[in-house]
């Protein structure tokens, strides 16, 4: 149980284009989903927290107009990187948590984004 | 401020035992998690402690002392595949998950 998928696993795009990443909880209802970014050999960095049906809460320093998050259902959240630039190249990982706030976060396999 | 400390890197020998410590200072406490992250992959859940004591799960055990703000992850019968980063994370009073920077564990034959 507690499986989270992400799609795509790899994406290469040209600078200036937008990229959408999907995160799905396959066997449980995810009231809350989290989006992280991780640069090589660095720690996980939380970008934003999204609750189903509500606007996402962004961490300090994360541009909400650049990283659009939608959590329209209890099993799907999307992150859209708008007008991507080479400095946005990173490993983007989502996690999902059930209804209780103390529940475990389960991670998706991650999406590697390379912006040329 | 909120802080989680764990060693940056540890080295151990295949077949041996290793203990990875984690100390925390957070505003409130609602549980402590350990995750394993192999290079280039996403973290996977290992254990959850909310009460004091030892939780054993196969070769891995996790210990918690809330009064000391301290936890450790114990790995027995180390295998080469255990080479990974081990992340300690604490849920605070607002149910925010505060992450440690992770401990890179290197296993040598």
Q: For residue A113, what is the DSSP state?
A: E
Measured in degrees and rounded to the nearest 5, phi and psi for residue B82 equal: -80, -5
Kindly determine whether residue B87 and residue A106, on different chains, have CB atoms separated by under 8 Å. Answer: no
Comparing alpha-carbon positions, the chain B residue that sits nearest to A2 is: B45
Chain A partners within 8 Å of B93 (Cβ) = none
What pLDDT shows up at residue A46?
94
What pLDDT shows up at residue B71?
98
pLDDT one-digit tens code per residue, A12-62: 999 999 999 999 999 889 999 999 999 988 889 999 999 888 889 999 999
What pLDDT shows up at residue A54?
86
Q: For residue A9, what is the DSSP state?
A: S
Mean pLDDT, chain B, integer: 95
Bond prior to A34 in cis (omega within 30° of 0): no
DSSP helix, strand, coil percent of chain B (3-state; round to 5):
5, 55, 40
Say yes or no to pLDDT of A102 above 80: no
Question: Distance between terminal CA atoms of chain A?
Answer: 37
Radius of gyration for the alpha carbons in chain B, expressed in angstroms and rounded:
13
In DSSP terms, B57 is beta-bridged to B60
DSSP helix, strand, coil percent of chain A (3-state; round to 5):
5, 50, 45
**Which of B42, B101, B102 to mutate to test binding with chain A, by most A CBs within 10 Å of its CB?**
B42
The answer for A 36-55 residues in CB contact with B (under 8 A) is 43-44, 46
What pLDDT shows up at residue B29?
94
Contact yes or no for A68/A82 (Cβ under 8 A): yes
Q: How many residues are listed for chain A in this entry?
A: 116
What pLDDT shows up at residue B46?
96
- The rounded distance, in Å, linking the Cα atoms of B106 and B68 is 27
Kindly determine whether residue B43 and residue A104, on different chains, have CB atoms separated by under 8 Å. Answer: no
Mean pLDDT, residues B11-27: 97
Chain A: give the shortest CA distance to residue B12, in Å: 20
Kindly determine whether residue B43 and residue A44, on different chains, have CB atoms separated by under 8 Å. Answer: yes
Residues of B with CB under 8 A from a CB of A: 30-31, 33, 35, 40-45, 48, 50, 87, 91, 95, 97, 99, 101-102
Closest CA to A76 of A28, A11, A15, A12: A28
- The rounded distance, in Å, linking the Cα atoms of A93 and A108 is 6
Q: B26 pLDDT band (50/70/90 cuts)?
A: very high
Contact yes or no for A106/A2 (Cβ under 8 A): yes
Picking from A102, A107, A110, the nearest residue to B30 by CB comes out as: A102
- The rounded distance, in Å, linking the Cα atoms of A43 and B2 is 16
Chain B partners within 8 Å of A110 (Cβ) = 41-42
What pLDDT shows up at residue B53?
97
- The rounded distance, in Å, linking the Cα atoms of A30 and A36 is 16
Q: B94 pLDDT band (50/70/90 cuts)?
A: confident
Q: A1 pLDDT band (50/70/90 cuts)?
A: low
Report the DSSP pairing between strands A10-13 and A32-38.
unpaired
Q: B101 pLDDT band (50/70/90 cuts)?
A: very high
């Amino acid at each position: 149980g507690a499986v989270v998928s992400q799609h795509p696993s790899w994406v290469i795009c040209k600078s200036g284009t937008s990229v959408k990443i999907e995160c799905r909880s396959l066997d449980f209802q995810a009231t809350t989903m989290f989006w992280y970014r991780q640069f090589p050999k660095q720690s996980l960095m939380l970008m934003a927290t999204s609750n189903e049906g509500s606007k996402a809460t962004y961490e300090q320093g994360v541009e909400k107009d650049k990283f659009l998050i939608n959590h329209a259902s209890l099993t799907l959240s999307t992150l859209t990187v708008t007008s991507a630039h080479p400095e946005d190249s990173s490993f983007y990982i989502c996690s999902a948590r059930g209804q209780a706030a103390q529940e475990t976060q389960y991670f998706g396999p991650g999406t590697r984004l390379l912006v040329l | 401020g909120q802080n989680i400390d764990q060693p940056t890197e540890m080295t151990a020998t295949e077949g041996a035992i290793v203990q990875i410590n984690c100390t925390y200072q957070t505003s409130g406490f609602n549980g402590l998690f350990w995750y394993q992250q192999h290079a280039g992959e996403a973290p996977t859940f290992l254990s959850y402690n909310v009460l004091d004591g030892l939780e054993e799960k196969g070769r891995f055990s996790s210990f918690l002392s809330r009064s000391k703000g301290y936890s450790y992850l114990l790995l027995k019968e180390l295998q080469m595949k255990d080479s990974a980063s081990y992340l300690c994370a604490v849920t605070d009073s607002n149910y925010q998950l505060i992450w440690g920077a992770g401990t890179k564990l290197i296993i040598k034959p």
